[in-house]
Amino acid sequence: MVRVQKWKVWGSVVEVDVTEAAALPEAAALIADVIDEAESVCDIHRGDAEIHAVNLSQGAPVKVSRRMSALLRSALWVARMTDGAVNPLISEPSDDSVPTVHPEPSFLDVQIDDDVVFAPWGASFDITDTAKADTVGRAAELVAGELECGAAVRIDDVIATAGHCPAGGWQIPVPGDDEIELANGTAMATAFALSDEPSAATDADAVPEWEAVTVIADDALWAYGAAATALMRGGGAIRWIEQHELRARLVDRSGRVYTTGNW
């Protein structure tokens, strides 16, 4: 029987499901440690977070911890995979009346050599969302490996599974729909549009605009990145998802549901 524990941390709802009841307390403790490690280095709302040193470096190389380096690499990987749709850099409002001295910073200009980060002048990172997705996958694999049980770990709307699955498989609720069986070792993420957030699509024919996009992928980081990207791609989202051979369910602003053929 699957045992479940939920709590809230890092502004998110965290849930762990394990296939061995006796493993639940230790699983929750392992996950809490993984989350605390990630939050302590990249939560921009914490004054002692390591990411502030990166944001203040302004073109100078800065040495970071191994975990900070890994989370930055994950964020940059998602940015490349999504052609910048999921961007780790914060866009600052600009005053067109003032001539710029430095070019607009790009994630493509960021380099990481071992644990030394080289970011262009003006670059400011916020990698919270990709860090949470990365942490989900890392936590699930850690619990499954350390405790030799099946594990499903969720932070908000990103879920990853690892280890052996329970009898009947992992039955995971899809937001706004019934449960779906999530294959062991895969992940699912749902991205929601903000009520005042328009689609990024500019083409007049790029409809419908999406209310929610759920994507199933091989890992939590890619599931999150793909869902967040599809949400912004308007009518081209389904083709983009199918080009990447992902499983997805999309809901438009009128409540109509679209699914990929492999859903």
Q: Do 113 and 136 fall within a single domain? A: no
Give residue 196's pLDDT.
55
Number of other residues whose CB lies within 10 A of the CB of residue 248 = 25
d(CA 140, CA 159): 9
Give residue 91's pLDDT.
74
d(CA 78, CA 7): 27
Which range among 78-87, 150-159, 175-184 shows the weakest confidence by mean pLDDT? 175-184
DSSP tally for the chain: helices H, then strands E: 6, 13
pLDDT tens per residue, range 21-75: 999 999 999 999 999 999 999 999 999 999 999 999 999 999 999 999 999 999 9
Q: 226 vs 176, which has greater pLDDT? A: 226
Evaluate whether residue 173 is within a structural domain.
Answer: yes
Helix (H) or strand (E) holding 155: strand 151-155
8-state DSSP, 89: B
pLDDT tens per residue, range 226-263: 999 999 999 899 999 999 999 999 999 999 999 998 99
d(CA 212, CA 190): 7
Strand 158-162 with 111-113, pairing: unpaired
d(CA 205, CA 239): 14
For the chain, percent of residues with pLDDT exceeding 70: 90
Distances in Å between the alpha carbon of 229 and those of 18, 210, 233, 241?
Answer: 30, 11, 7, 9
Number of other residues whose CB lies within 10 A of the CB of residue 111 = 12
Evaluate whether residue 98 is within a structural domain.
Answer: no
Q: Do 36 and 72 fall within a single domain? A: no
Q: Do 28 and 136 fall within a single domain? A: yes
Give residue 202's pLDDT.
44
Give residue 205's pLDDT.
46
Domain of residue 113 covers 51-92+103-125
Radius of gyration for the alpha carbons in the chain, expressed in angstroms and rounded: 19
Q: Do 114 and 146 fall within a single domain? A: no
Q: Do 38 and 141 fall within a single domain? A: yes
Give residue 50's pLDDT.
97
Instruction: Please determine, for residue 10, whether its predicted confidence score (pLDDT) is greater than 80.
Output: yes
pLDDT band, very low/low/confident/very high, at 96 (cuts 50, 70, 90): low
Give residue 212's pLDDT.
97
Q: Do 12 and 116 fall within a single domain? A: no
Which pair of tokens denotes residue 124? 């400011």
Q: 206 vs 36, which has greater pLDDT? A: 36
Across the range 142-147, mean pLDDT stands at 97
Give residue 38's pLDDT.
98
Q: Do 136 and 175 fall within a single domain? A: yes
pLDDT band, very low/low/confident/very high, at 122 (cuts 50, 70, 90): very high
Evaluate whether residue 65 is within a structural domain.
Answer: yes
pLDDT band, very low/low/confident/very high, at 201 (cuts 50, 70, 90): very low
Q: Domain boundary at 157, 182, 207, which?
A: 182
Give residue 168's pLDDT.
87
Evaluate whether residue 11 is within a structural domain.
Answer: yes
